[in-house]
Structure 1
């Protein structure tokens, strides 16, 4: 019994190019990785009796193109450990292993399945991930106030005390706490959390009038479209919290609406959480 990996190719290739691609894919699958650029979609692996070790490439249903462009919908392979991903990122070779929009799938110890998406690299040796979909609702504060910022909020305690401990131990081992900066009552506060919720800048980039300058943040690749900012929970789109207090308002934090637009919500209301972590 041999396994055959099926790849859908959306670019027409010559016979020579297809053979070269097949050999390249075979070698990469043997290593548990597929790291090609261009127009490829991994469909799955089937087991066939007496099949040769091979990679099946479905012909492209399009007109002839350049013959050299390939991309993968998902490059993350279960054959690569979190420790190997972390080591590659720390050495500056992260994009060889995981790139923006790649996904990590894991289980919380509550039994809930979670997918984290690579949002991009904030330094050559630090990648930022955000949960693809949202977890359960919670208030940002019991009262409608953003006094104390995210640093002193109920929402932060919820993330650190009610979500983070349920992550798999092997994931917690490779997380790098994210340096966070806030100005609270005119004073600069610096701290670092292993699990956090995104800022307005993480999601929307700088938005004058919506939140103060956030020097610890940069807009992530995955949030540059409205569709990329939409979160679901149990199959339904939801509003979800950001950790940015709304500028010139004392009662609200910034949030993301069901259509991916910027919004704001009273801190005493309950919204979904989509945490993130650095590696």
Structure 2
């Protein structure tokens, strides 16, 4: 039996995206995998996919970049994952330099997303407008990072190929995740160029493909 796949493309503003969320029709009109193409302030092209709808709370849509933005960047200047995502330099980079690249209309409607990590028996929490997904949110299992008992896999990432991102040239590339390696003091987790789970030293530069959340207002 043959199958047919149809795609529909139309123009949209972020204000209209928010209107869909506020109308309660996100599960219908913003299904995981829905892509929005945006031009950033530096002139680069970004492809942003809906990764989850109503996953952590009703009326929340989580979006993730399908390509890297800015330059490859280190999680920390030093060889350490101490303090996890909460204390890493990548967090500062995302919520300053990368945030500044987004359209003002979009930034105004972003909702902070909480990151919870367990490191050396301590619970670390913070909230950000731009974030990197955790290992569990991407892969749906505990591999290198300690599972916090809260995170859920983004439905979009259940397909391994959807975990792959590309660089500015369209080539598949490695990209960092927010999760520190549980049994190592210098590594953070990352996603390989074919969607696999790996980890590497925090001072190494990999691609940056952030996520953000918009909630019903």
- What TM-score do the two structures reach when normalised by structure 1? 0.70
1:129 is aligned to 2:63: yes
Does the 8 Å CA contact 2:84/2:124 hold for their aligned counterparts? no
1:185: how far off? Answer: 5.2
* Number of residue-to-residue matches in the alignment: 209
Partner in structure 2 of residue 181 of structure 1: 116
In structure 1, runs of 5+ residues without a counterpart are 1-9, 12-38, 42-72
Distance in 2, Cα, partners of 1:224 & 1:238: 19
Partner in structure 2 of residue 92 of structure 1: 24
Pair 248,228 (structure 1): closer, same or farther in 2 beyond 3 Å? same
The structure having more radius of gyration, on CA atoms, is 1
Distance in 2, Cα, partners of 1:110 & 1:81: 19
Which of 73, 82, 85 lines up with 2:14 in the alignment? 82
- What TM-score do the two structures reach when normalised by structure 2? 0.89
Question: 1:123-174 CA deviation, whole Å, 9 max, x = no partner?
Answer: 3311111001112201101111100101110111111111011100011122
1:273 is aligned to 2:205: no
Which of 227, 248, 255 lines up with 2:190 in the alignment? 255
Where is the strand percentage greater, Structure 1 or Structure 2?
1
Partner in structure 2 of residue 199 of structure 1: 134
SS at match of 2:80: coil
In structure 2, runs of 5+ residues without a counterpart are none
1:120: how far off? Answer: 1.7
1:216: how far off? Answer: 4.8
Residues 219-258 of structure 1 aligned to structure 2 (within 5 Å) = 219-233=153-167, 234-258=169-193
Partner in structure 2 of residue 22 of structure 1: none
1:265: how far off? Answer: 0.9
Partner in structure 2 of residue 159 of structure 1: 94
SS at match of 1:182: strand
Distance in 1, Cα, partners of 2:174 & 2:128: 23
Partner in structure 1 of residue 144 of structure 2: 210
Pair 90,185 (structure 1): closer, same or farther in 2 beyond 3 Å? farther
SS at match of 1:271: coil
Does the 8 Å CA contact 2:83/2:124 hold for their aligned counterparts? no
Distance in 1, Cα, partners of 2:113 & 2:130: 8
Distance in 1, Cα, partners of 2:35 & 2:17: 12
Distance in 1, Cα, partners of 2:40 & 2:150: 28
Residues 101-112 of structure 1 aligned to structure 2 (within 5 Å) = 101-112=33-44
Distance in 2, Cα, partners of 1:84 & 1:182: 34
SS at match of 1:155: helix
